[in-house]
């Protein structure tokens, strides 16, 4: 009976998906037809206009235009010479500009409105690196859904997210925007975010087009300095950098943004191999590629293009469809076509991609469909958005240290000191790229704690270094001011427990915010030590946009909680973890080094020929630091304990090897665990990393309960890309590990 139902159900599912598939194809065909009809009416100039994207008139997220350029831009809107605009938001403003274009330009082709909606529009969810620490794909997808609903409600149709650059360098400020160092986790998170933004129907009032960025290699900038050159080998390109992009394309991401960096000698924006050969060719991506801000122009200082005209020529040949703020296409593409250096068919192909997206967004049916001012008010910061933001914020927290069950705090705990400027900060928890969030709109840690108890006294102790661009370097405040120490130390002396909230200002990470040291900024570590001298019962709550080097804290402080920048509900999430109403379940998506000198430090590295300390000197190591990280990838504690047992490897089906084990909650409280599976291909034609994540599962276990976790390893998990990016599967011996982090688990071996 059961199997009858199963087969009836699967026939039904198959029939529905066949119908959906047919209707998708039909609507795609209908759109293509409308695109061609419109294209036939367009002049060459109008076509090129569609490939031109301008910034709006106020917010700038790149170098600003001068006055003359701004005036010219305004006329271009009326002449139909702009296809899309960024940083114009709010239904009133969007409607105004849309009306200008629709009513005044000859063909009235509506604009697409884009913006960096990176982790929320007004309801801010954790920075993407933090969310990746949740390893909870449903929560991540939901977070993107919330962002999309709010962005669409204020007139936007396109977000420049997700950023899916893999990075191994926490000096690079933009690690806050990505999912960390691992391509497998990175690909899963990328797909969750794309699905969350785009939903199933792009024309729905609560979905927007996503943009996978930055294509490609941007996270590998030399020395972690933003915009710097990238020089990586083919193994890393195909096996580390590209897989999240491939996954996003397979998940139907509508747009891709290229990147500022030079990749192996050729700027990514002018890189034909990346864009035409791989993305549009091999992967059959049929969406649009937008340049990054002025990245076409930047091929001149890179030393790849002689002038803007040649830059335009190189960019379109390489496959770049839309020009963000370089003015290169709008100024030069027409003459390039007339001179025969660019074919009109190349222009047509780019324009088709752009128009297709406009049709899919429903903009031709109603250019003002995202301009409902009543909806705008009701959607922003809805209660269920705030609930989703709290849920993902709690899940993003990583418990780094908890000696002798120091945490959670007893709810009856009296006499608590809270120290650190970030504890009262309502702005920093919003992180960088906080779109339209109101200043100071986060719940601070202090406010979150006060919902539990009033037995709290607060002292600031010291400021954090403020990282807003205008302050950086020249006037960075409070590098040295320790005048608040005395009050903080006195308070700590009289208290039973001290919660110290230390870390980075909300603008110290993000674009253009590279650092050369990863210590707690300013005098915060000195403050920590001063307090520790009078009271050892310290809980350190870290608020930061990237891994930090906190060796002293790790050696001396009994409890450490990584709370990143968790968004609007930050303080509530942190308080719930500290008081045990939420049992932390996050795992690090990025290695924490002990020293900047170890960077790049990542778990999936290659072995060396001299990996073991067999002699005194001649093996691969440092003479002044160990090779090990402070906290490894995949690491994170819980108030529960999880025991792994009974590893089984079943190779009966060589195409689908079954690896399983039992995970038991041997602790006293219910908790969530992320079981992680790693493999190592022991011998291969191209050497393979010592470990590679190939599966994970997150689940809840009551105390004493067990769960059988199963993973299936197929060619998709066991193969790799060769130097040209072709998938290769070689027979051989594999090590496998299932465990609680990248360094702790049950190990086995199989051949196939
Ligand atoms: C430059 C950034 O690199 C990119 O990520 C962003 O989308 C654009 N500016 C637009 O703000």
Give the tens place of pLDDT for each residue, 655-690.
999 999 999 999 999 999 999 999 999 999 999 999
Question: Closest Cα to atom 4, ligand 1: which residue?
Answer: 292
Q: Is 76 in the pocket of ligand 1 (CB under 6 A)?
A: no
Q: Are 176 and 129 in contact (CB under 8 A)?
A: yes
Q: How confident is the model at residue 12 (pLDDT cuts 50, 70, 90)?
A: very low
If we measure between CA atoms, which residue out of 251, 253, 269, 180 comes closest to residue 219? 180
Summarised one tens digit per residue, pLDDT across range 96-107 is: 999 999 999 999
Question: Closest Cα to atom 7, ligand 1: which residue?
Answer: 160
Q: How confident is the model at residue 437 (pLDDT cuts 50, 70, 90)?
A: very high
Mean pLDDT of 75-80: 93
Does the pLDDT value for residue 312 go beyond 80?
A: yes
Instruction: Report CA 372 to chain centroid distance, whole Å.
Output: 30
Q: Is 298 in the pocket of ligand 1 (CB under 6 A)?
A: no
Please work out, in degrees rounded to the nearest 5, the angle formed at the alpha carbon of residue 443 by the alpha carbons of 454 and 478: 95
Mean pLDDT of 490-507: 97
Output the CA 657–ligand 1 centroid distance in Å: 42
- CA 163 to ligand 1: nearest atom: 5
pLDDT for 475 equals 45
Range name among 89-93, 138-142, 206-210, 694-698 with the lowest pLDDT average: 89-93
Output the CA 256–ligand 1 centroid distance in Å: 12
- Domain 23-113+268-274+287-363 classification at class level: alpha beta
pLDDT for 283 equals 98
More confident residue, 4 or 303: 303
Report the percent of the chain where pLDDT is more than 90. 90
pLDDT for 61 equals 63
Cα Rg of the chain, angstroms: 26
Output the CA 178–ligand 1 centroid distance in Å: 13
Counting ligand 1 atoms within 8 A of each CB, the residue from 176, 208, 218, 293 with the most, and so the one to mutate, is 293
Cα separation of the two ends of the chain: 37
Q: Are 499 and 541 in contact (CB under 8 A)?
A: yes
Output the CA 292–ligand 1 centroid distance in Å: 6
Q: What element of type H or E holds 574? A: helix 570-578
Summarised one tens digit per residue, pLDDT across range 547-580 is: 999 999 999 999 999 999 999 999 999 999 999 9
Output the CA 293–ligand 1 centroid distance in Å: 6
Q: How confident is the model at residue 5 (pLDDT cuts 50, 70, 90)?
A: very low
Report the percent of the chain where pLDDT is more than 70. 94
Instruction: Please list the active-site residues.
Output: 292
- CA 211 to ligand 1: nearest atom: 7
Q: What is the pTM of this model?
A: 0.95
Distance, in Å, from the CA atom of 323 to the CA atom of 329, rounded to the nearest integer, reads: 7
Summarised one tens digit per residue, pLDDT across range 734-752 is: 999 999 999 999 999 999 9
Range name among 326-330, 407-411, 474-478, 719-723 with the lowest pLDDT average: 474-478
Q: Are 380 and 151 in contact (CB under 8 A)?
A: no
Domain definitions of the chain by residue range: 23-113+268-274+287-363, 394-586, 642-751
- Return the bridge partners of 418, or none: 458, 499
Secondary structure (3-state) at 685: coil
Q: In the 8-state DSSP scheme, what is residue 692?
A: E
Does the pLDDT value for residue 10 go beyond 60?
A: no
- Domain 394-586 classification at class level: alpha beta
Q: How confident is the model at residue 13 (pLDDT cuts 50, 70, 90)?
A: very low
Question: Closest Cα to atom 1, ligand 1: which residue?
Answer: 293
SS3 content of the chain, % helix, strand, coil (to 5): 35, 20, 45
Strands 266-267 and 211-215: unpaired
- Topology adopted by domain 642-751: Immunoglobulin-like (2.60.40)
What are the phi and psi torsion angles at 668 (to 5°)? -105, -5
Mean pLDDT of 405-410: 98
């Amino acid at each position: 009976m059961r199997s009858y139902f199963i087969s009836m159900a699967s026939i039904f599912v198959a029939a529905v998906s066949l119908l959906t598939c047919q209707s998708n194809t039909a609507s795609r065909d209908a759109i293509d037809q409308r695109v061609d009809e419109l294209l036939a009416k367009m002049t060459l100039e109008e076509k090129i206009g569609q490939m031109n994207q301008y910034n709006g008139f106020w917010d700038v997220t790149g170098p600003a235009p001068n006055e003359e350029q701004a005036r010219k831009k305004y006329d271009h809107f009326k002449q139909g010479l702009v296809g899309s605009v960024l940083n114009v938001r709010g239904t009133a403003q969007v409607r105004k500009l849309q009306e200008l274009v629709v009513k005044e330009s000859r063909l009235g082709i509506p604009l697409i409105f884009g913006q960096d909606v990176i982790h929320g529009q007004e309801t801010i969810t954790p920075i993407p690196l933090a969310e990746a620490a949740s390893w909870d794909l449903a929560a991540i997808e939901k977070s993107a859904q919330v962002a999309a609903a709010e962005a669409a409600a204020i007139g936007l149709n396109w977000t420049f997210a997700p950023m899916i650059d893999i990075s191994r360098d926490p000096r690079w400020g933009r690690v806050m925007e990505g999912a960390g160092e691992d391509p497998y986790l990175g690909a899963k998170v990328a797909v969750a975010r794309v699905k969350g933004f785009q939903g199933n129907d792009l024309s729905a009032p609560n979905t927007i087009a996503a943009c996978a960025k930055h294509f490609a290699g941007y996270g590998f900038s030399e020395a972690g300095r933003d915009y710097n050159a990238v020089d990586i080998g083919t193994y890393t390109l195909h096996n580390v950098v590209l897989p999240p992009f491939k996954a996003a394309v397979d998940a139907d991401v509508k747009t891709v943004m290229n990147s500022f960096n030079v990749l192996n000698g050729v700027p990514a924006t002018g890189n034909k191999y990346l864009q035409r050969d791989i993305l549009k060719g091999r992967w059959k991506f049929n969406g649009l590629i937008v340049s990054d801000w002025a990245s076409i122009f930047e091929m001149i200082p890179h030393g790849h293009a002689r002038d803007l005209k040649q830059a335009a020529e190189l960019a379109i040949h390489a496959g770049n469809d839309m020009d963000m703020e370089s003015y290169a296409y709008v100024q030069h593409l027409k003459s390039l076509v007339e001179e025969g250096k660019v074919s009109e068919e190349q222009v047509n192909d780019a324009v088709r991609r752009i128009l297709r997206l406009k049709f899919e967004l429903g903009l031709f049916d109603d250019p003002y469909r995202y301009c409902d001012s009543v909806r705008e008010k009701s959607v922003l910061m809805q209660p269920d958005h705030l609930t989703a933001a709290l849920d993902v914020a709690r899940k993003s927290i990583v418990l780094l240290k908890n000696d002798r069950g120091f945490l959670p705090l007893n709810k009856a705990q009296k006499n608590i000191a809270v120290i650190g400027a970030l504890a009262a900060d309502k702005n920093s928890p919003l992180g960088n790229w906080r779109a339209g969030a109101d200043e100071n709109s986060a719940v601070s840690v202090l406010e979150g704690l006060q919902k539990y108890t009033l037995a709290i006294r607060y002292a600031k102790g010291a400021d954090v270094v403020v990282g807003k661009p205008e302050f950086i370097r020249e006037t960075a405040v409070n590098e040295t001011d320790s005048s608040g120490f005395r009050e903080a130390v006195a308070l700590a002396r009289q208290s039973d427990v001290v919660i110290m909230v230390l870390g980075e200002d909300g603008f110290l990470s993000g674009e253009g915010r590279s650092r050369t040291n990863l210590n707690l900024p300013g005098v915060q570590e000195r403050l920590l030590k001063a307090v520790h001298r009078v009271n050892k019962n310290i809980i350190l709550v870290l608020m930061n946009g990237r891994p930090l080097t906190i060796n002293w804290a790790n050696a001396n402080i009994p409890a450490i909680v990584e709370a990143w920048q968790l968004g609007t509900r930050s303080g509530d999430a942190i308080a719930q973890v500290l008081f045990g109403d939420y049992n932390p379940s996050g795992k690090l998506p990025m290695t924490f080094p002990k020293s900047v000198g170890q960077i790049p430090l990542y778990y999936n590295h290659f072995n060396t020929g001299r990996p073991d300390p067999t002699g005194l000197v001649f093996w691969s190591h440092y003479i002044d630091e160990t090779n090990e990280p402070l906290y490894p990838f995949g690491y994170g504690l819980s108030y529960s304990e999880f025991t792994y047992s009974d590893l089984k490897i079943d190779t009966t089906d060589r195409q689908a090897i079954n690896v399983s084990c039992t995970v038991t909650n041997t602790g006293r409280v219910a908790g969530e665990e992320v079981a992680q599976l790693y493999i190592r291909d022991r011998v291969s034609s191209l050497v393979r990393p010592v470990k590679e994540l190939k599966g994970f599962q997150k689940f809840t276990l009551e105390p004493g309960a067990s769960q059988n976790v199963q993973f299936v390893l197929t060619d998709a998990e066991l193969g790799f890309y060769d130097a040209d990016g072709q998938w290769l599967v070689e027979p051989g011996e594999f090590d496998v590990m299932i465990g609680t982090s990248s360094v702790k688990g049950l190990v086995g071996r199989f051949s196939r």
